[in-house]
Chain A
Amino acid sequence: MTDFSNIKCRYILKKEIWSRADELVKAHWCYGETPVDIEHIVESKIGLEIIPLSGLSNICGIDAYLKSDFSGIVIDNSRYNDERYDSRLRFSIAHELGHYVLHEYLYSDNNLNIDEPREYYNFITNFPENEYRSFEYQANQFAGRLLVPRENLVEEVNNISNILEKNNGAHLLSVNPDYVLERATPLLCKPFGVSEDVIKRRVEEEELWPPTGFGR
């Protein structure tokens, strides 16, 4: 049986991951236009299938996955059909696209030769947890930057600053920036079609909060 415990995730600088996401949006989407239509990019531009599968989330505990032959992204059918999950689903698709763009080498580098279901169980069981987390981290960075491009985020953060200034609330940014961010999050995520968690992580990752000239 193959030893899968040696699987390695190549280290990639965060800036490099972001640049790959930017390049992809520039090549396949009107850069600067939000929300980024991730389904259109995946299906029409990249040529990956989107395959809704019933029971994926409830029975298997998986939101979405990239197929082993890298030909499609499988997503939970009931969530795909439920608007309440739109933001999470968009992120899931962008995340799997991140694996597609960044991690094709998983199979070539590691000489994975999985030709029977038993070997696949072995692969999943022995995939090193820390390496798995690195793959996930990279795909998350890719998805976040793709759905929330920096330029647009800067613009939205500036809008929040302007609103605060007009309402004499700018001092709050230096006193309690977290409080302001908490209140501003619904406004910030709306143009991007992402969840509040994603937008909070994005402003933090891009070091955009508190806005320049205030607080920090």
Chain B
Amino acid sequence: MFGEFVKEKRLLLKISLRQFARDLGEDPSNWSKIERSAASAPQDEAKLAKIAMILQIQKDSDEWNQLFDMASIDAGRIPDYLMSDKEILKSLPAFFRTVGSIKPKPEEIEKLIDIIRKEG
């Protein structure tokens, strides 16, 4: 809920994920997880105020309250850390870009599965 809201606002303002994460001082991978609801929303008020500022949300406006409320609701949610095999298969490459257009080796795919399982 929180993640979707932020992403929608971010895209309306044409801010890339990378730029948003940089402005916020967050790691893009972690921030992407929050937007995809694979991790909980931040609870720190200063951080939320900064998010609101980047998204051009005025203090004490309806959207401001909505942002803080959604972050608070999100705190009680347990993110789905454990992906099923089926979900992992969806997250594996259909196509991949490697140096020299060489197919990844099976052991590299095995490592990738490990990373996806841990990182989501």
Contact = CB atoms under 8 A, between A and B. Distances in A.
A124 B106 contact: yes
Contacts of A66: 93-96
Interface of B: 11, 14, 16-18, 21-22, 27-29, 32, 36, 85-86, 88-99, 101, 103-104, 106, 108-113, 115-116, 119
- B85, B92, B111, B115 pick with most chain A CB within 10 angstroms: B92
- B29, B98, B113, B116 pick with most chain A CB within 10 angstroms: B29
Interface of A: 37, 39-40, 43-44, 49-56, 59-71, 74, 77, 80-81, 92, 95-96, 99, 103, 106-107, 114-117, 120-121, 124-125, 127, 129, 132-133, 135-136, 139
A103 B95 contact: yes
B27 A81 contact: yes
Contacts of B29: 52-54, 77, 80
A125 B106 contact: yes
B94 A50 contact: no
Nearest to A40: B14
Contacts of B98: 61-63
A117 B93 contact: no
A163 B32 CA distance: 45
Nearest to A106: B94
Given A53-B115, A117-B113, A135-B95, A60 B108 contact: yes
- B22, B89, B106 pick with most chain A CB within 10 angstroms: B89
A182 B97 CA distance: 26
Taking chain B's interface residues, is the majority helix, strand, or loop, or is none over half, making it mixed?
A: helix
14 contacts: A39-B16, A43-B16, A50-B16, A51-B32, A53-B29, A56-B112, A64-B96, A68-B93, A81-B27, A95-B97, A114-B89, A124-B103, A124-B109, A136-B95
Contacts of A62: 93, 96-98, 104, 108, 112
Given A44-B14, A59-B115, A52 B28 contact: yes
Contacts of A77: 27-29
